[in-house]
Amino acid sequence: MSEYNKPHKPLINAEIRRRGIYLLPNLFTTAALFAGFYAIVQAMNQRFEQAAVAIFIAMVLDGLDGRVARLTHTQSAFGAEYDSLSDMVCFGAAPALIMYEWALKDLGRFGWISAFVYCVGAALRLARFNTNIDVVDKRFFQGLPSPAAAALCAGLIWVINDFGIQRAEVIRGIAAALTLFAGVTMVSNVPFYSFKDINLRRSVPFWAILLIAFAMILISSNPPMVLFLLFVAYSFSGYAVWLAKWRRLRQKKPV
């Protein structure tokens, strides 16, 4: 075989190895992954409020890595895969384990089944998102996003601990119901607004800045309660949109 007829695959592999990865967006992803791992460790040490706060920090970091990648033009296939794996830890495994340690393990078999439903729901949600990313309407998520589902679980823990409420049977039942609701809603076809059509580079009216300032003041007044209520409202907003679409389609059908 002559020199020109030899396969060039080793050269291609060498080129891929030399290409490297982008540091800045993957730094945010790594920080989010650390926050998710830290949340699991704190839950194992019975520090549930710290674990809940770590989940919210992971949410902020997860939202930043994609924005940073787009703004700096450093998107990559590696970054997308790494972000998906980080999301599974932060918003799939971590919330399920935290909820189990916090309240569900006292419910016996029903408790760990509830936690597993959430965990598998997050895994299926992320897998479906990765495969349908080019075919769905980018204005809406298909099913509840895993960060929002994680915020529901973490928010409940944060609120209960902030008010000093004892984990009685009623609280454990609420925790199990919320965990199941989040897990099932993640794999549903209910549309949830994605906020991806908001252009941060576009000029906005003055009242929009006032609204953002008011939102910051409102959240800072009582972060556990306000954040939890915001994500509860968001988790039901998808069902409201779905119901409105269903009613419009029913009205258009001939009698």
The dihedral of CA 237, 88, 195, 214: what is its sign? Answer: positive
Q: Which has the closest alpha carbon to 35: 11, 71, 59?
A: 59
Q: Which has the closest alpha carbon to 81: 36, 39, 25?
A: 25
Please name each of the domains of the chain with its CATH number.
Answer: 19-196+206-252 (1.20.120.1760)
List strand residue ranges (DSSP E) for the chain, in order.
140-142, 191-193
pLDDT for 74 equals 81
Q: Whole-model pTM?
A: 0.85
Tell me the two tokens of residue 133.
Answer: 């990313």
pLDDT, one tens digit per residue, over 44-80 is 999 999 999 999 999 999 988 888 887 888 888 888 8
Which residue would you say has higher pLDDT here, 87 or 139?
A: 87
Q: What are phi and psi of 142, to 5 degrees?
A: -90, 100
Is residue 3's pLDDT more than 70?
A: no
Is residue 200's pLDDT more than 90?
A: no
pLDDT, one tens digit per residue, over 152-173 is 999 999 999 988 888 778 899 9
10 Å CB burial of residue 53 (0-12, 13-18, 19+) is: buried
CA count, 13 A, side-chain hemisphere, 62: 28
The C-alpha atoms of residue 53 and residue 60 are separated, in whole angstroms, by 11
SS (H, E, C) 86-125: HHHHHHHHHHHHHHHHHCHHHHCHHHHHHHHHHHHHHHHH
The C-alpha atoms of residue 24 and residue 64 are separated, in whole angstroms, by 10
Q: Which residues contact 152 (CB under 8 A, 6 or more apart)?
A: 178, 181, 182, 228, 231, 232, 235
Tell me the two tokens of residue 229.
Answer: 């209520």
